[in-house]
Structure 1
Amino acid sequence: MSSSLPAPGGGRRRTLDTAYLVLASLYVAGLVLWLLLGLLPPLAASSSATMEVLSRLARGTGSVATIAHGALMAIPEAAGWGIVSVEYAFSILNLGLGLVLLCRRPRDVVPRLLSLGFMGTAATFNAPSHVVFHLLVNAPLVTAVHFTFHIVSGVAYVWAVILFPDGRLPVTVGRGGRDTGLLALVTTIAIAVVCYRSSFVAHPPFFVAFFGVLIPVAGIPAQLVRLRRFEPGMPQWQQSRLLVIALVPALAAASVWLLARAAGWTWVASVVEANFPTVFALVPIILAVGILRFRLWDVDRLVSRGIVFAGLAALVGIAYGAALLVAKWLVGDTSLVGAVALTAVAVAAYPVRRLGSRLANRAVFGERLSPPEALRVLAHQLTSSGDPARDLVDVVVAATRCSGAALWLLDGTELVRAAAAGAIDEGPTRLPLVGDSEDAVRAALAPAPCEPVRHDGRLVAALTLAVPPGIRLPRVEQSLVRDLAAHAGLLVTNARLTRDLARQLVVVRTVADDLTMSRAQVVAAQDTERRRLERDLHDGAQQELVAALLRIGTLTSRSTEEISSQEIGDLRRLLGRTRTSIAELAHGSPPEPLVRRGLAGALSESATTLAAAGIAVSVDDRTAGIDLPSEARTALYYCGVEALQNIAKHSRARQAVVLLGADEHDIVLSVADDGVGIRSGAARAEPGLEHLGERLAPIGGTARLATTQTGVTVEFRVPRVPSPPEALS
């Protein structure tokens, strides 16, 4: 819970620890001496033997004689054994808690401070010892002990409630370590001075002011900062909440005391001062509970009962005093006053005890719901939206002393954890199950205790509980868990149906997504095929039809006698190739010239159409021995045909050169002419070039155009090795 003191080195650490233990031992010895000092007057008043021993010692010299003389002088002022018992019950409680922390956590910051604070308040709140002390003359040892307890208990308590539980300041002051250390030193000196000066004023009012106002005002804001820093339910959040719960009663009592003094109600202030040690006893008890619960050892029901006893004693004492005053005011100073007061306290004792028990269980075990409330909450959550499995385990943790709970659903040959709350270890969420009997479920979930959950007599789930070591659930809570499990059968069945429905919805959504994707793929494939046909028609059959139109135009400009049979045969063959190209497109086959003559031959055959326009074309093939992929060969063929047709239509060139070559990475096709170039420019060239680029893009190719005053050169590149589809995308 609390951080250990820094260990700069093994030897130095051992030296510091040894020095602390020696000083703490002297501190305990001084406390024992101080408490024995207060017992001497009542012992002497009730025992002649003690009186004789003290008288004999008082006739001597030295410190012992001084103490014996002071004890004898305090006999007339000695209180009765009833008051002495109450005083020493508080002192022994604080002494015991302080010794426990000293022995169990001697190296942690907060336990050290709490140990010193507990033992110091055991001395400073002890009124019988103070009576003897004020009658002593020239007793330096007792005086040193007295001042030590006042200073150490005040300083230790203030810093304990500020640093609780992790030994660190809740906020950083100024620029960090130096400013924080300086502020801590100044604060410690100020508290020490205040505690030192308290030895010279009336102690009961000072105790209420210091321990009821200053300590809560220091501790509660520090813990509220921590509560905002952590999520509810976390161990650090619960520890800070415990301290706030412990300090609130003391602050409330001190507030009543301040109002009474301001209003002049001295009798109310006196009642608060007399009962304040009982109220403040809650602080060490609950602080110890925080240490016990979260770090040192496990808490059992005795701690809860201790809190109930301390709270009940405080409330009964205050209630009895108030009842006496009210009864005296109502019936006067008669023998009925005591009877009326006792009756009022007796009537209030049972509900107060039940309330105290519930508050103690909430502080120690985290219980927030009584059994009837737990069943009502579960019934309400069954009818509301949300996570029913989570609601069940939350209710179990809130209504019992379990530190955690988990709900496991039977799912065929497995147990599936549906929900968990509280301190449940992060482990597998699925466990193998051999059989579906209750014994099989218990064996799979062992060693955790579990309660079967049934619906219509069929085992549907199991509720596992995390119970802190040393804690045993009382019968009422065991019965509550069985009732919750019985009511949870319908809840689990609904959860299972909801889960199955969610699975079916996931399947339906997956199928719908697949159908949507398939439809999109079909549409995309159709669109791709449409664009391919469009490109092939444009680059193949369309170009051949254009060439045929050019020849027809040339022939129609001449007379019939000037047209030779060879020219008519060439035109017939050209139209035949066009028909063949269209048929190939319909069947998805590559162009017939490409299949028959290869890329260079097919380009040479297409170049003959330029002869009719008076353009001389030369084809230079430098790719001998290079194996071209079929997709690259077809794409380059269509691009070359498109470039030749553009020369025939637009260039007014006299000659053109087709060069088919290769470099280290690409196959390169360039088509150049000596025509007029592209004077009106890019507006006409870019659409055609973009179209050719789209044809080459699926196989990783590119198209580039260069124009000068003496012609145009178009260059097409495709990789020698086909690119993978993911690289193209």
Structure 2
Amino acid sequence: MPPGAARRLAWSLIGLMVALALGFVVLNILDDPRIGLGNPVLVGLGLGFSLIIPALGLLVALRRPDNPIGWMFLGLGLWFQVQSFGSEYALRAFVVAPGSLPAAAFVAWFEPWLGQVVTWAVLPLLILLFPTGRLPSRRWRPVAWVIMVAAAVEGLVYMVRPVELMDGHQGLYHQFALLPNPTGLASLAGLVNVATSLLNVYLLLAVLTSAAGLLWRFRRAGSEEREQLKWFLYVIALLCLDVVAGIPVGAVIHSHWVGDVQWALGAYAVAFGLPVATTIAILKYRLYDIDLVINRSVVFGAMGAFITTVYVAIVVVLGGLLGGGSRPNLALSILATAIIAVAFQPVRERVQRLANRLVYGNRATPYELLSQFSHRVAGTYSTEDVLPRMARVLGEGTGASRADVWVRLGDGIAPAASWPSGDGPAPSRIAVTGQLLPPVPGISRIVPIRRQGELLGALSINKRPGEQLTPIEEKLLADLEAQAGLVLQSVRLTAELRARLTEISQQAGDLRASRQRIVAAQDAERRRIERNIHDGAQQNLVALAVKLRLAASLAKRDPERARVSLKALETESDQALETLRELAG
């Protein structure tokens, strides 16, 4: 069914139910108060079938029109309104004001067998199809067909029963027998009674079989679907216990109140237990992904109630106290509008927080956290702050018990930030091959972070036992992954720049040390040369100069000795030259 047609059909059913409910209220007010609805058990059932079940059915049908669960809840609500209006209509037509309403006989005849068909068709199928709207497997198709055929036969049997239509138990108000069944066949009374007994037993077995199908689905379901089924299964178990236990108890204790108590418990299980169990699955375990719809509905409904209350309190109540009568008071209307305008935003924020707490628990909505993180990333941030903040957003937005941000380092990825910080040892480094992320044991979910096809890191979370990611949390994880690619790339570039700066600083330090070593070596060499010149060549030259002066003085007195001395000086001069060459080399 197209979404537009489904939406129109759902709202049309709600409109029909509202019209029937208003008709019931009008007829009930017109009837004798002694005949009116005074039984608190019936009042409670009316509340459940008139408000809770239709509202839940509308919510599911609008969100998941392809799932029959929502339409079944709407069908239950419509059946109750038809039965309530029909009983009150027939009551007025035959008891309070006989002959005052048209088609009263048809209404009184139509209501009982319709209730049998709806009760024995919708209830077992609702149990069998919850929560996916599909049978547990193809092997359950015969069970579904048998349920529908048996319910139709049950309705047909009720159509031909030779009984009075308002016999004290079929009518809503426990009236006396007043109208014989126009389609009843007295000749088939015995056969009808036997068929009714057999069908009741058979349909009781159908309910128990549907409950067995629900249990079979529960045993084969994953952890998320199990959590969604758990509360619903509890209610069905109590309903089956009520039905099964009522048979031997009624056989032992022959009293009408046993049947009344059994009927009331079963009716309340359907009117309140099933909607409450479904609501728990929707709110706590995100069944049908309609938590956002609930959030907005709560906000819009509360704000509408606020505006109406303020306007009525000021314009109507205060106007009446001031003696304005029925005349409109423009000043009070302006005052009410001004108060609403001033208080609207603060009240809306408070209501929004309450709605968020109802839907998401004691944490911010996933997209509030994502918005805060995006705003933070758009500004100036440090790498020491952004990764822990990302881990916190991931953990708080998904309700995880632990969240980790992994960064690729060489041929592996390692956790760079965790939330909550210091909560146990960090996961070990994981080796990666190419751009593929291997499975990681002990982690509920890990998603790779890529940028232009390059693996930069990963995001991982650990959910508490029995919890699974909801579609909204999956969307948050995907959006955070998209932002994390840019963040991790920036973090990696920053880390690479820091590493390059560290390398350059180290090289500069090495150059300074090398220069210092060169200068020191030059100084040492200079001092060595100075020392060698002073101790070697200089001494040789000084000695050579002294000996030359001696040879010059000998040349005048003893030429032969002077010649020998000069010969020795020649050798010494060669040695001095050799020493100078060594110093120069």
TM over 0.5: no
- Which structure: greater strand fraction? 1
TM-score (normalised: structure 1): 0.33
**Which structure would you say has the larger Rg?**
1
Higher relative contact order (CA 8 A, sep 6+): 2
TM-score (normalised: structure 2): 0.40
